[in-house]
Amino acid sequence: MTYEPVIGLEVHVQLNTATKIFCGCPSRFGAPPNGQVCPVCLGLPGVLPVLNRQALASGVKVALALGCRIQPTLKFDRKHYFYPDLPKNFQISQYDLPLAFDGVLEVPETADAPRVTVRIRRVHLEEDAGKLIHERGERTSLVDYNRTGVPLLEIVSEPDLRTPEEAYRYLQVLKQTVEYLEVSDCDMEKGSLRCDANISLKAAGARTLGVKAEIKNLNSFKYVRAALTHEIARQQEVLRAGGRVTQETRLWDDAREATAPMRSKEYAHDYRYFPEPDLVPFSLAQDDVEAIRRTLPELPLQRACRFSTQYGLSAYDAGVLTSEKALADYFEACVRAFGEHQGVREGDRPSPSAEEDRREGTLGAVPGASASERRVRIGGAAKAVANWVQGDVLAQCRARTVAIPALGLPPAHLAQLLGLIERGTVTMRMAKDLLVQMIDTGEAPPSLLQRLGLAQVTDPQVLKAAAVAVIQAHAKAVSDYQRGKGQALKFLVGQLMARTKGQANPELAHEVLQAVLQEQLARQGGPNR
C-alpha cells in the first residue's frame, strides 16, 4: 500500500502590543518572573477583562493580508482545561465566531519545488498561557505567569500540504508576511511564533482521510520538518503492520529525533466551550476594516515581483532580498543612494515623458536621458547593490551574528563604496577590506580612504616607475616574456601589484607594464610582442 501524507498547521503568533490582551500589564519579554501580572491576567475573583484595541487591529491586519473574510460579528469564548500555567483554569479564545475565515497563502515556486496554494481555514484571537520552568535535578516545577494574557493570533490552515518540505516553505512565507506587517517579531526562540502540526496518512488516490496525530509546540521550522518526516515514517510502519493510528497529541524530542505520546487528542466538546460572559459579542464596522486595509504594506511576494520587474533582478535574487523586510528596505535605500552617483535622483522632478517610468518604479528622471537609458542605469545600480548586499554585507552579518539594522553600515556608506569602485578609485580587493573597516569604525569610505592612504594608484608616471623597478628585479621573467611565454607577463603584473600594495589599477598596471616592456624591446631591437 502506498500512502499519501496530509498536513495542516496551526500557527500561534504573539502580537507585539505594549500591553496584554485583556488587561494593562506590560507584555515585554524578559522581565523578572511574575513581575508583569495583575488580578485580571491571574484570573482572581471579581475581575473583568477589557479587549485590547490594538490586538484586535493587528489581528484584522493579518487576516486581511491573508485574504480572509472578516466576520461582521465577533465573540470570545471560554475554553476549559487545566494547566498549572493557566491560573483561571480556562483560556479566553474564540470558537464559532472567530475573527476571520477563508483566506489563502501562496507559496512561490523555487528552482526545485512547485508553487503551493494553501487555504487558511480561520484566524482567531486568544490569550497565551504562562510558562513552566523545570530545573534540572529538582522534583518541583516553577511557574512564571508573565506570559499569561499576552495576545495570541492563531492561524489555522486547511490540510493542503503534502510534504514536510512544503510545510517548511509555508511557514517561511507566513513568517515573512507577519514580519512585513510589523505586528510581531516572530522570534521563535522567545516563543513569539509556535506551531502545532497535524498529520495523517491516507491511501494514495483515496478521498477519505486517515486518523491524524497532532505534534504540539514546535518552536523551530527545522523541528517541524523533522517531526513531520519522523511521523510519516512512524504512521506508515503502523499501517503496514496492520495496526491503527491513534488520534493523539505527541511531542517532538529533538535529542531522540522522534515523537512521543503526550495525551489522547481532545475534541471540541472536551473543552466545554461557552460564550465568555464578561465580553459581549460585538461588530466590526466596515469603515474600520477598510481603514486597516489601507495601512497594509507591500507584502513579500509583491515586493519580490516588483524587484524583478523594476530592477531586473533574477527571481532568486529578488527572493533573497525580500526574505526579510529590514533587508529589503536596506537594499532599496542603498539603490537610491547609489543611483545618485549615477545621476539618478529620487527627488528629481520627472519630465512628462518620464512619468510612465516613475509609475513603473524607476527612481526618477535623468535630464537628457531616454527612458531606456534610465532603466539600464538604475538596473545596473540595483544589480551592483544586490551583489554586495547578498554577498559581503550578509557575510559580515553572519560573522558578527547581527541583523542588518544592527550592522552599523548606513546605506549611504555602501553606496559611496560602490561609487569608488565604479570610478576606479579602489580595486575590488581594497573595497572588501574597506568594508570591514567601515563597519568597525563607522567611518564613511572617502574619509577612511584618505586616513589610511588606500586610494587606488592611477597615475601613469607612478605606475611606470614601479614597472621599471619590477623589470629590473626580475630579469628571468622579462627574458621569458621576450621568448613569448604569456605567463611571464602575468607574473610581472602580479609583482607590480605587490609593489604598490594592491593599490594599482589592474587594467592600467597591465597596460603600463606592457608598454615599458615594448619600449625595452624596441631599444634592444627585438621583436614586438
Q: Beginning with the edge strand found earlier in the chain, give each strand of the sheet holding 258-264 in spatial order.
A: 69-70, 100-107, 116-127, 151-157, 3-14, 193-203, 213-218, 248-253, 258-264
Work out the angle at residue 159's Cα, subtended by the Cα atoms of residues 156 and 161, and round it to the nearest 5 degrees. 105
Q: Is 295 inside a domain boundary?
A: no
Query: 319 and 439, same structural domain?
Result: yes
Q: Is 283 inside a domain boundary?
A: no
Q: Is 289 inside a domain boundary?
A: no
Q: Which of 416, 434, 452 is the last residue of a domain?
A: 452
* Reported confidence tier of residue 526, pLDDT bands at 50, 70, 90: low
Q: What's the rounded mean pLDDT across residues 55-81?
A: 95
In this predicted structure, the answer to whether residue 89 has a pLDDT above a threshold of 90 is no
Beta strands 69-70; 248-253: pairing state: unpaired
Query: 180 and 59, same structural domain?
Result: yes
pLDDT of res. 458: 66
Query: 195 and 51, same structural domain?
Result: yes
Amino acid at 378: I
Q: Is 280 inside a domain boundary?
A: no
pLDDT of res. 27: 94
Query: Whole-angstrom Cα distance, residue 31 to residue 317?
Result: 39
Q: Is 287 inside a domain boundary?
A: no
Query: 486 and 447, same structural domain?
Result: no
**Cell digits for 8?**
495542516
Query: 393 and 376, same structural domain?
Result: yes
Q: Is 256 inside a domain boundary?
A: yes
What's the gap between Cα 129 and its chain centre? 28
Q: Is 529 inside a domain boundary?
A: no
Q: Which of 254, 271, 288 is the last residue of a domain?
A: 271
Q: Is 97 inside a domain boundary?
A: yes
Q: Which of 407, 430, 452 is the last residue of a domain?
A: 452
CATH number, domain at 479?
1.10.10.410
The closest of 10, 325, 403 to 193, measured between CA atoms, is 10
Amino acid at 204: A
pLDDT of res. 374: 45
Query: 348 and 264, same structural domain?
Result: no
Query: 180 and 105, same structural domain?
Result: yes
- For the ranges 141-155, 326-340, 359-373, 456-470, the lowest mean pLDDT is seen at 359-373
* Reported confidence tier of residue 280, pLDDT bands at 50, 70, 90: very high
In this predicted structure, the answer to whether residue 140 has a pLDDT above a threshold of 70 is yes
**Is the model more confident about 12 or about 2?**
12
How many domains, in total, are found in the chain? Answer: 3
* pLDDT more than 90, % of the chain: 62
Query: 260 and 119, same structural domain?
Result: yes
- For the ranges 72-76, 155-159, 484-488, the lowest mean pLDDT is seen at 484-488
For the chain, the first-to-last Cα distance in angstroms comes to 74
In this predicted structure, the answer to whether residue 480 has a pLDDT above a threshold of 90 is no
What's the gap between Cα 219 and its chain centre? 17
Domain of residue 250: give its range. 3-271
Is residue 498 within 8 A of residue 510, CB to CB? The reply is no
Over residues 389-442, the pLDDT tens digits come to: 999 999 999 999 999 999 999 999 999 999 888 877 787 888 998 999 999 999
CA distances from 124 to 93, 97, 199, 409 (A): 8, 9, 21, 40
pLDDT of res. 233: 95
Average pLDDT over all residues of the chain:
87
pLDDT of res. 461: 81
* Reported confidence tier of residue 267, pLDDT bands at 50, 70, 90: low
Burial annotation 84-95 (CB, 10 A radius, 16+ → b, else e): ebbbbebbbbbb
| SS3 call for 102 | strand
Query: 18 and 116, same structural domain?
Result: yes
The DSSP letter of residue 189 is: G
* Reported confidence tier of residue 454, pLDDT bands at 50, 70, 90: low
Over residues 91-130, the pLDDT tens digits come to: 999 999 999 999 999 999 888 889 999 999 999 999 999 9
Query: 261 and 125, same structural domain?
Result: yes
Please, how many CA atoms are within 13 Å of residue 25, restricted to the half-sphere of its CB? 25
Query: 378 and 399, same structural domain?
Result: yes
Q: What's the rounded mean pLDDT across residues 6-35?
A: 96
Query: 177 and 100, same structural domain?
Result: yes
Beta strands 193-203; 116-127: pairing state: unpaired
| Residue 14: its H or E element | strand 3-14
Q: What's the rounded mean pLDDT across residues 483-503?
A: 80
